[in-house]
Amino acid sequence: MPAIPTTSQTEAASVSQLFSYPFRIFFLSMTVLALLAIPLWIMQVNGVISLPLALPGLFWHQHEMLFGFLSAGIAGFLLTAVCVWTQTERTYGTRLVLLWGVWLAGRLLLAFGAGLPDWLVHTVNLAFLPLVMLDAGWRIWRARQKRQLLILLVLGLLWLMQIGFVTQLDMTFSYGALIMAMALISIIGGRITPAFTTGWLHQRGLDSAAVKTVPALDMTTLFSLILLMVSLVTGWQTVTGVLAIVAGTLMLVRLAGWKGWLVRKEPLLWILHLSILWVPVALFLLAGTLLAGWPSNAWSHAAGTGAVACLIFGVIARVSLGHTGRPLVLPTGMVTAFIAIHLAALIRVLTAFEVISWHPGISASALLWLFAFGMFLFRYTRVLASPRPDGRDG
């Protein structure tokens, strides 16, 4: 009979524990980056500091939010989930340290690499996503899980956008990357959100059959987003605007079928529904940008701060509990953090439309962002750095 772990064994936090599963180190590192990159960017813009950036300031900010923050979230979630999907051994220990080291080196080179050869900075930063795809891809291939290949397809397109962005310094590619980020949300969010909603309703004897998913609609939405990205990057403005309306409408129809209002009493679920709602909002704002001249930073922040960051925040709050064997009960203060990050997105979009003036808007949005991720760091660091209470790997 296996020994029952003692309290000291299960509660002892350690650095080594962070490298026992991909979600642990990447969720924590992503949170630290979120807490550092935004204030550094604001201080850089306002001339308070002058970092030796390897990219021009605005491009550095966009890259770190898209390919630093988002890529860490992707690695933490995907490399954990794919082991469950394929029943394969996780990446951990030295291999995980090396993978994380590539991600960290990219952040340091971009923040302090002024004067270094471009090929060095670009090569290190462009290496991370392919390594993540390789790790996940061989597991998917061996398990013959063709369904998961769509994720690799979208990740490959996201990587192409990163290549274009760092080599051309063209914001068109960052916009394309945002659309591919929303395509990932369409796939992964479209799987976990209705599934978790159905499970929660069923456990409480409520009408779980009310939650509807339509595979054909899911696929149509995904490919509309891929077409939208291609159209945007190739410069077909009117076509892109129309495609944005189509993709946004398809996402709204899917969301309606998931019946998010039925789980309004469960923060770990309404955060997912509310975050994905930012996807059609961002797409309609993109259409407004292209067809009516609305400010481009409105749709980009609705997509980046709203859809991407808010959904990542909701997912890491849940995964960090579930995969460490803890009850799915939010720690104190996290509901307030959920509200704060959505308010940060809303204020940032309103600031883009000059409903709120620039300095108060940027400051309020940044403070709410910092509160949300600061709360996660405070409440989840020990969770991520401690063994599971049941003594199992996780």
**What are the C-alpha distances in Å from 145 to residues 80, 107, 184?**
16, 33, 17
CB 337 within 8 A of CB 34: no
Q: What pLDDT is stored for residue 139 in this prediction? A: 93
Contact 232, 175 (CB under 8 A): yes
Statement: residue 195 has pLDDT above 70: yes
Instruction: Identify which of 124, 110, 130, 125 has the alpha carbon closest to the alpha carbon of residue 36.
Output: 110
Nearest to 149 by CA among 78, 215, 202: 78
Q: Which two tokens mark 43?
A: 């201080």
Q: Which helix (H) or strand (E) holds 11?
A: helix 7-11
Is the predicted pLDDT of residue 9 greater than 50, yes or no? no
Would you say 80 and 323 are in contact if contact means Cβ atoms under 8 Å apart? yes
Q: Please state, in angstroms and rounded to a whole number, the distance separating the CA atoms of residues 297 and 289.
A: 9
SS (H, E, C) 70-103: HHHHHHHHHHHHHHHHHCCCCCCHHHHHHHHHHH
Helix (H) or strand (E) holding 121: helix 118-143
Q: What is the mean pLDDT of the segment spanning 271-292?
A: 98
- pLDDT tens string 367-391: 999 999 999 999 999 999 999 998 8
pLDDT in tens, 318-333: 999 999 999 999 999 9
d(CA 33, CA 79): 19
Q: How far apart are CA 111 and CA 164, in angstroms?
A: 20
Query: pLDDT tens digit string along 17-64?
Result: 999 999 999 999 999 999 999 999 999 988 899 999 999 999 999 999
pTM, two decimal places:
0.94
DSSP secondary structure, 172-201, as one string: HHHHHHHHHHHHHIIIIIHHHHHHHHHHHH
Distance from C-alpha of 211 to C-alpha of 2, rounded to nearest angstrom: 41
Confidence at residue 4, expressed as pLDDT on a 0 to 100 scale? 33
How far is residue 218's CA from residue 213's CA, in Å, rounded to a whole number?
8
Rounded to whole angstroms, the Cα distance separating 366 from 291 reads 30
Half-sphere exposure of 113 (CA within 13 A, CB side): 21
Position 2 confidence tier, pLDDT thresholds 50, 70, 90: very low
| Residues 364, 304 contacting (CB under 8 angstroms) | no
